[in-house]
Amino acid sequence: MKAQDIMVRDVICVDIDARLPEVKAIMAQNHFHHLPVVENEILVGIISDRDLLRTISPFINSLSEQPRDTETLNHAAHQVMTRQPITAKADSPISEIVTWMKHVDISCVPVVDEENHLLGMITWRDLINHAKF
């Protein structure tokens, strides 16, 4: 089995200059844990829910909120994303993707073409849903 056989093809992305409230809203509305970041339709990074937790102040909308807390919302995607994420090609074997995910401890792999255009995404859930037991 290859990446193209199980990848999700209709991937929602954000622009490199998208602000964190937009990123957070897209992730929440779609129940995503990862969001690809593109610049001119080229994959340049990925933002995880853990990246948002690390960056956005936990005091937002609380009695303890300070101006410095709300300033964390002004960050752009490129300021918090993981740059040069591990990617796969459409013809990459699933076994190779699983090996990378285990070795590097990641839970998703973008699938790209030769020019780094995003073709799809594979998450650990996709792997489980297509496993043959």
The CATH number assigned to the domain holding 85 equals: 3.10.580.10
Q: What is the residue range of 123's domain? A: 3-129
Q: Say how many domains are in the chain.
A: 1
pTM of the model: 0.86
pLDDT value at 65 more than 70: no
Strand partners, 110: 121
pLDDT value at 109 more than 80: yes
How far is the C-alpha of 12 from the C-alpha of 82, rounded, in Å?
A: 17
- Going by pLDDT thresholds of 50, 70 and 90, the confidence category of residue 133 is low
Q: What average pLDDT score do residues 1-24 get?
A: 94
